[in-house]
């Protein structure tokens, strides 16, 4: 939503919005001249936006359908559109490079945007996370006809896009409240893949059992971070805080690529991003320079504290497969350290559907601290709470903790790697945690 808000602001429109609570991002928007209210009452809507002939209301499905402001706009007959519809229309006249998948889409699309933006090719980008390189989720370049889009599958949002090239990073079932079951989820991705138009490319992670019906003239390619595919990495070296590898394309090998954000899962993500960049004319030297200068995405495995007493890593992981990748990466980077995970489950339905899988992955921690479920748009479900996951965990130490009690508990974890995980509002706590750990350094 914030990327669209910034886009319309850049085009000279008056822009205002609502958020549940203040955050670093909402404050950034306010500093950029976008009005943000944290009061959901209809009376909090500025007078400028009460003229329904000149106001477009854009909403995300993360907003509950009974939200007072959204309900009022509907009752008054305003033009109301979903974020996905507006994004699809805004980008329709450009060549869209769309990155979809249960996991990896934010990082992959951000790497791709950086590779293109710093090259002679250039690009525009609507990203799902804040790029650390540019401190924004919106990149604009009037000289380029390419736009990188993170293609969100929730509520079938990505069906509103018109991809020129598309990436599918993974199809692990999620959002079963929307798709019903794993088959429905797969069908949603198959429909998305079928939107790639003539002359375009569909790039799919090697090993995904995926057979969509493609439009005529669409090229199908595969990629992998550790297996032979149309685009792949080999000669991978991990150590001393560095990751290097050779990048194979269908016609050349680009050797000794250095990953600027050295996290193991980013090998896969960078191969996908480099493949699309390469197909759009980015040179081998530009790829090498771009990958090494890539500095990550806010809340995607960000190391915030690294001292003698504490290491703090923050990650958006909120699905069992993402937890596995995050915890596995920490083990690889810090094999001799105790790992303390702080996990805030996101959504009652996701907790209900994947409690056993969450418990399996979180059991790989040395110590688990569970926060209460972040509900987002959902109402409580009887019997579904953090204890549902905790009771099935087998890690040596585990407990439920309220947010107000978390920082004192973490200060006791001297000598550990602390890993904060989740897609709820845990990110509001992370800066406070980092500050407290630094102050408590012996």
Q: Report yes or no: 419 and 339 within 8 Å, Cβ to Cβ.
A: yes
Question: Do 66 and 97 belong to one domain?
Answer: no
Question: Do 108 and 34 belong to one domain?
Answer: no
Question: Do 363 and 218 belong to one domain?
Answer: no
Query: Strands (DSSP E) along 356-429, which ranges?
Result: 367-370, 397-400, 416-421
Question: Do 364 and 258 belong to one domain?
Answer: no
What CATH number should be reported for the domain holding residue 11? 3.40.50.720
pLDDT at 241 over 70: no
How much is the mean pLDDT over the chain?
Answer: 93
Report how far residue 192's alpha carbon sits from residue 196's, in angstroms, rounded to the nearest whole number.
8
H-type alpha helices, 294-441: 320-333, 348-362, 386-390, 406-411, 430-439
pTM equals 0.80
Question: Do 287 and 376 belong to one domain?
Answer: no
Report how far residue 29's alpha carbon sits from residue 278's, in angstroms, rounded to the nearest whole number.
34
Among 293, 313, 344, which residue terminates a domain?
Answer: 293
pLDDT, one tens digit per residue, over 333-347 is 888 899 999 999 999
* Between 280 and 62, the higher pLDDT residue: 280
Among 32, 56, 86, which residue terminates a domain?
Answer: 86
Question: Do 39 and 78 belong to one domain?
Answer: yes
As given in the structure block, the two tokens for residue 14 are 């008056």
H-type alpha helices, 91-240: 105-117, 176-179, 182-193
Mean pLDDT of 129-156: 93
What CATH number should be reported for the domain holding residue 272? 3.40.1190.10
Q: Estimate to the nearest angstrom the gap between the alpha carbon of 35 and the chain centroid.
A: 25
Lowest mean pLDDT among 159-168, 304-313, 352-361: 304-313
- With 0-12 / 13-18 / 19 or more C-beta atoms within 10 angstroms meaning exposed / middle / buried, residue 113 is buried
Mean pLDDT of 408-418: 96
pLDDT at 427 over 80: yes
pLDDT, one tens digit per residue, over 71-86 is 999 999 999 999 999 9
Question: Do 191 and 223 belong to one domain?
Answer: yes
Q: Could you give the number of structural domains in the chain? A: 3
Helix 284-293 with 266-279: angle, nearest 10 deg: 150
Beta bridge partners of 57: 80
Among 61, 86, 111, which residue terminates a domain?
Answer: 86
What confidence score (pLDDT) does residue 178 get?
79
Question: Do 205 and 259 belong to one domain?
Answer: yes
Q: What percent of the chain has pLDDT over 70?
A: 99
pLDDT at 287 over 90: yes
What confidence score (pLDDT) does residue 239 get?
74
State the residue for tokens 């896969």: 268
What residues make up the domain containing 349? 302-439
Mean pLDDT of 51-60: 94
């Amino acid at each position: 939503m914030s990327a669209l808000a910034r886009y319309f602001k850049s085009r000279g429109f008056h822009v205002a919005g609502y958020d549940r609570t203040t955050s670093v991002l909402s404050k950034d928007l306010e500093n950029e001249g976008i009005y943000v209210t944290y009061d959901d009452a209809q009376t909090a809507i500025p007078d400028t936006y009460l003229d329904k002939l000149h106001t477009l209301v854009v909403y995300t499905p993360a907003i509950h359908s009974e939200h007072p402001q959204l309900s009022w706009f509907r009752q008054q007959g305003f033009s109301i559109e979903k974020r996905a519809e507006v994004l699809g229309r805004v980008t329709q006249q450009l060549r869209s490079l769309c990155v979809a998948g249960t996991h990896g889409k934010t990082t992959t699309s951000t790497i791709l945007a950086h590779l293109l933006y710093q090259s002679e090719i250039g690009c525009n980008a609507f990203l799902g996370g804040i790029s650390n390189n540019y401190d924004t989720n919106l990149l604009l370049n009037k000289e380029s006809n390419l736009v990188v889009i993170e293609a969100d599958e929730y509520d079938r949002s990505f069906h509103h896009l018109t991809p020129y090239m598309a990436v599918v990073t993974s199809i692990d079932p999620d959002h079963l409240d929307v798709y019903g079951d794993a088959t429905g989820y797969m069908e949603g991705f198959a429909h998305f893949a079928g939107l790639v138009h003539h002359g375009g490319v569909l790039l799919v992670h090697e090993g995904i059992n995926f057979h969509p019906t493609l439009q005529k003239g669409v090229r199908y390619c595969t990629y992998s971070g550790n297996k032979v595919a149309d685009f792949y990495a080999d000669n991978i070296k991990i150590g001393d805080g560095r990751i290097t590898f050779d990048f194979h394309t269908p016609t050349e090998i680009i050797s000794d690529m250095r990953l600027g954000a050295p996290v193991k899962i980013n090998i896969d993500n960078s191969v996908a991003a480099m493949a699309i960049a390469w197909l759009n004319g980015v040179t081998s030297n530009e790829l090498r320079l771009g990958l090494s200068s890539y500095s990550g995405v806010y809340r995607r495995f960000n190391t915030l504290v690294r001292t003698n007493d504490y290491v703090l890593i923050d990650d958006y992981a909120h699905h069992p497969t993402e937890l596995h990748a995050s915890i596995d990466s920490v083990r690889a980077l810090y094999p001799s350290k105790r790992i303390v995970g702080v996990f805030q489950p996101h959504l009652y339905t996701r907790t209900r559907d994947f409690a056993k899988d969450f418990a399996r992955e979180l059991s790989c921690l040395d110590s688990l601290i569970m926060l209460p479920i972040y509900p987002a748009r959902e109402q409580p479900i009887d019997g579904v709470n953090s204890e549902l996951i905790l009771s099935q965990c087998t890690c040596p130490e585990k407990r439920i903790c309220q947010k107000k009690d978390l920082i004192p508990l973490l200060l006791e974890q001297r000598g550990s790697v602390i890993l904060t995980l989740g897609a709820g509002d845990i990110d509001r706590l992370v800066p406070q945690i980092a500050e407290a750990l630094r102050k408590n350094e012996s």
